[in-house]
Structure 1
Amino acid sequence: MNVRKSKELAGHAGPIYALFPGRSEGHVLTASGDKFIAEWNLDEGVASPFSVKLEEAVFSGYFHEEKQLLLAGTASGNLHVIDLQAKKELRNLAVHKKGVFAIIHIPQENWFIIGGGDGFISVWDDAQFELIRHFKVSDFKIRSLSLVDEQLAVTSGDGFIRIFDLPWLNEQNAINAHEGGAYCAVKHPNKPVLISGGKDAHLRFWHLDDFSEIRNIPAHNFGIYQIKFSPDGTKALSASRDKTLKLWNSEDFGLIERIERPKYPAHTHSINSILWLDNNQFVSAGDDRKIKVWNIDESLESRD
């Protein structure tokens, strides 16, 4: 198995904090410290004409295809809701007192859940964007939100992963997971296991029956910002502040490839976000303001 960079796109004037699916196939959206959300045509390797300029750095974003809504979470804690068909902003929701770092849609409840740098979670109905719940989770920033079966996993800067039931949002478990901060947590697609990454640069594996730790991999040199599984669940990626991407076999989490300089034309600064396009293609972006598209050729042996 081999990895190669197929495209590199540039245009942002600030760090890229978030990558998320674009308005059509072959397109991605990026949220940046330069106050823009931009769209990129990956097939042609160019920026799309579409972009949205806000008044401050954008930390997070979400595109709701069915409703044609773009959500943007900013550095001050505001959530902007933009109707792309009408080409106008519907709402500017000022609930969080610090940056919005995480946005997740819960379709079965018709909710958007937002995680703020103030340690609060806010819950909004996805039609009128009326506030349903607003409550404190931690004294530290909320870093990520993810679904774990019928529950919600919340990571925060105090190092804990907290598990809430749905739809009641009662706290079920609190896992003291990562010293210095828990940055991300995702459910394994094929196993009853939650995998987390944090400031300690470790990947930690938790059994969903009792959330006991069953494995620990010292995976990176600095904090792990994201973990993402390929659509077919056979591979996983981790992205780190250490400028490195790691590609893993999701069955046993054996390392397939370490993507870093000088072996690869990789990132020169922290990698903040990753996105799978299909089972053998993914995108990465970070503080170097670059968007890189990577292809996996499974017919070739690893370069190691």
Structure 2
Amino acid sequence: MKVEVQKLHTLTGHRDCVYTLARSAQSHVVFSGAGDGMVVRWDLNTPDTGELVAKLPNSIYALHYHPIQNCLVAAHNYDGIHVLDGENKKELGSLQLTKAAIFDLQAYDRDLLVATGDGTVMKVDLATLVIKGQVQASTQSARTIAVNAVRGEVAVGYSDNSIRVFDGDSLALKHEWVAHNNSVFTLRYSPDGNHLISGSRDARFKVWEATHGYGQAGEVVAHLFAINHIDFSPDGKHFVTCSMDKSIKVWDWEALKLLKVIDRSRHAGHGTSVNKLVWTNHHSQLLSASDDRTISVWNIKFEQQPL
């Protein structure tokens, strides 16, 4: 498999580290959130300028577009969440939740799941802005959430090196295990929901069998430093990892085989930690956000090599 990588655009305007990216209802529109408290809307058809959606007083570690409620939610660190109309650039509501950092937001059915720095996972009714339930399974940070809609399960990665899987409706604990030698920073279910992939501060990713009690099905020493995020390609055949080591790596999902390294020396990649990835349906363009205050847009082509 030959992989060609082309850097299409560099999106600039944030004044601090870009921590997070979020999809939208339109494949060509992506949102970003940063340490400067700004939420910015980017149109990949006209990527030169972003539009300011909101300016919050504290840094934003997490953003999430809720498809059912058709709204964008920004996590306002040490405070709570802000519900935004990303198209019309206005606030729809807010809810004070925590004095801790908020590390991840994910939709579950009509609700929103929130992972916080004090180890709490909350379920919020976005329509009424009421907390419907919460669980604190650790005193250390809940860093990442992955939702398995097929199985009705929610996996959460923690700074105590563990992964815990909860029932999505009741938040009852179903599975719990020490998964890595350091904090679990990112989780993703495979597109078919049969596997969970975890990335850690220990620079490894591991694969777990969601259909067989979350037994381990694979492990790769993938980066030099922490793996910050994982995302799958639109067709589900590949996935990407990004790291504090400044690189993005492209993998074959079935074989867990490294196909390409995207970095500064080879592809004019990022100069500092790469924090977040979104592999869009817009011409399969990949976006990466970094501590260097920029967002890069990549074109990745896969060509089958002749036998």
Partner AA of 1:287 in structure 2: D
**Deviation at 1:143?**
0.8
CA separation of 1:23/1:247 partners in 2, compared to 1, >3 Å: closer, same or farther? same
Secondary structure of the equivalent of 2:49? Answer: strand
**Deviation at 1:196?**
0.6
Output aligned runs, 1:118-133, within 5 Å: 118-133=118-133
Q: Is the 8 A contact 2:30 2:43 kept in 1?
A: yes
Partner AA of 1:91 in structure 2: G
**Counterpart of 2:16?**
14
Secondary structure of the equivalent of 1:263? Answer: helix
Q: In the TM superposition, what whole-angstrom CA distance separates every residue of 1:189-240 from its partner, at most 9, and x where no partner exists?
A: 2473221110100011112202222321000011111111112111100111
Q: Is the 8 A contact 1:159 1:176 kept in 2?
A: yes
Once residues 167 and 194 of structure 2 are traced to their aligned partners in structure 1, the CA distance between those partners, rounded to angstroms, is: 16
Partner AA of 1:142 in structure 2: A
**Deviation at 1:66?**
5.4
Instruction: Confirm or deny that 1:30 pairs with 2:12.
Output: no
Match of 1:255 among 234, 237, 258: 258
Secondary structure of the equivalent of 2:185? Answer: strand
Q: Is the 8 A contact 2:53 2:90 kept in 1?
A: no
Secondary structure of the equivalent of 1:266? Answer: coil
Partner AA of 2:96 in structure 1: A
Task: Report the more deviating stretch, 91-100 or 136-145.
Answer: 91-100
Identity, % of aligned positions: 29
Q: Is the 8 A contact 1:2 1:300 kept in 2?
A: no
Match of 1:161 among 163, 180, 190: 163
Instruction: Confirm or deny that 1:297 pairs with 2:301.
Output: yes
Partner AA of 1:210 in structure 2: G
Once residues 79 and 135 of structure 2 are traced to their aligned partners in structure 1, the CA distance between those partners, rounded to angstroms, is: 15
CA separation of 1:7/1:217 partners in 2, compared to 1, >3 Å: closer, same or farther? same
Structure 2: give runs of 5+ residues left out of the alignment.
none
C-alpha RMSD of the superposition = 1.9
**Counterpart of 1:202?**
204
Secondary structure of the equivalent of 1:96? Answer: coil
Partner AA of 1:297 in structure 2: K
Once residues 125 and 221 of structure 2 are traced to their aligned partners in structure 1, the CA distance between those partners, rounded to angstroms, is: 40
Output aligned runs, 1:1-304, within 5 Å: 1-22=3-24, 24-64=26-66, 67-83=69-85, 88-107=90-109, 110-148=110-148, 149-190=151-192, 192-208=194-210, 209-278=212-281, 280-299=284-303
- Structure 1-normalised TM-score? 0.92
CA separation of 1:85/1:13 partners in 2, compared to 1, >3 Å: closer, same or farther? closer
Secondary structure of the equivalent of 2:264? Answer: coil
Q: Is the 8 A contact 1:142 1:155 kept in 2?
A: yes
Q: In the TM superposition, what whole-angstrom CA distance separates every residue of 1:122-157 from its partner, at most 9, and x where no partner exists?
A: 111121111111231211111111113320000111
Task: Report the more deviating stretch, 182-191 or 55-64.
Answer: 182-191
Q: Is the 8 A contact 2:72 2:84 kept in 1?
A: yes
- Structure 2-normalised TM-score? 0.91
Q: Is the 8 A contact 2:108 2:168 kept in 1?
A: no
Task: Report the more deviating stretch, 92-101 or 258-267.
Answer: 92-101
CA separation of 1:129/1:257 partners in 2, compared to 1, >3 Å: closer, same or farther? same
Q: Is the 8 A contact 2:200 2:226 kept in 1?
A: yes
Number of residue pairs aligned between Structure 1 and Structure 2: 299
Q: Is the 8 A contact 1:77 1:117 kept in 2?
A: no
Secondary structure of the equivalent of 1:262? Answer: helix
Partner AA of 2:291 in structure 1: D
CA separation of 1:5/1:133 partners in 2, compared to 1, >3 Å: closer, same or farther? same
Partner AA of 2:134 in structure 1: H
Secondary structure of the equivalent of 2:280? Answer: strand
Once residues 87 and 28 of structure 2 are traced to their aligned partners in structure 1, the CA distance between those partners, rounded to angstroms, is: 20
Once residues 64 and 189 of structure 1 are traced to their aligned partners in structure 2, the CA distance between those partners, rounded to angstroms, is: 18
